[in-house]
A and B are shown apart, each in its own frame.
Chain A
Amino acid sequence: KQEVTQIPAALSVPEGENLVLNCSFTDSAIYNLQWFRQDPGKGLTSLLLIQSSQREQTSGRLNASLDKSSGRSTLYIAASQPGDSATYLCAVRFPNDMRFGAGTRLTVKP
C-alpha cells in the first residue's frame, strides 16, 4: 500500500531559524513529488515540484530535495519568518494514485 508520512506533525521555531520538514513514502516508483502550503481555512498553494528524475528544486528561501531510493524528501526553509507559519503538505504522485501526507503545522514566533 502506498503511504506518505510527514514528520514532525507540528513544529515551533523562533524567527530567523533554518528548519527542515520531512516527507517519506513507501514506494519508490513515483512520477513526482510536490510540496504545498495551506493556510487555515484556505486552499493549497504549490511551493515546489520535483520530478522523479530530479534531486532538488529551489525557490527563494525554499529548497526541496528528493531521494527516491530511500523514499524521502525534505523541505528546507531558510531564515524563517512569521509569515511562513502554515501547514506544509507533501504530495506524491504514483503511477495510478496521488497520496498526501497529513502535513506539518509550522509556527514561526516573532
Chain B
Amino acid sequence: NAGVTQTPKFRILKIGQSMTLQCTQDMNHNYMYWYRQDPGMGLKLIYYSVGAGITDKGEVPNGYNVSRSTTEDFPLRLELAAPSQTSVYFCASCPMGGTQYFGPGTRLLVL
C-alpha cells in the first residue's frame, strides 16, 4: 500500500492564481482531512469528508474548496491565491474512529 500520497511536493504561485492540491489514499478509508500548518504552529483543519459525496468545513475553510467524488481522492482547490495561504498542506485519512495517516505534505509559497 502507498498509504496517503500528495502532489505536488512544492509549488510557487502568484497572487490571484489558482491550483489544486491532490490527495489520494489506497486504504479504503472513509474519513479524509485537509490541514494547513504554518511555521511553528500546530495543524488547522480546513475541510474534511466522512465519505464520498460528503464534505464539511473545518476551522479555516475560507479561500478553499474541496470535493469527494470517490473514496480514494480528496482534492483541495485554491481559487484566488493570497500570501496568507503560504503554508504546508497535509492530507490525512482514517477509518471511522481509527488512527489518522498523513501524507508527506505540499509546501506552497504564494508571492
Contact = CB atoms under 8 A, between A and B. Distances in A.
Contact of A43 (B42, B48, B102): B102
A25 interface: no
For this complex, into which size category does the number of interface residues on chain B fall?
A: 20 to 34
Interface stretch (B15-23, B63-71, B73-81, B93-101): B93-101
Tell me what chain A mostly uses at the interface: helix, strand, loop, or mixed: strand
Interface of A: 4, 6, 31-32, 34, 36, 42-46, 49, 51, 89, 91, 96-103
Contacts of A36: 102
Interface string B16-33: 000000000000000001
Contacts of B42: 4, 6, 89, 100-103
A103 to B, nearest CB: 6
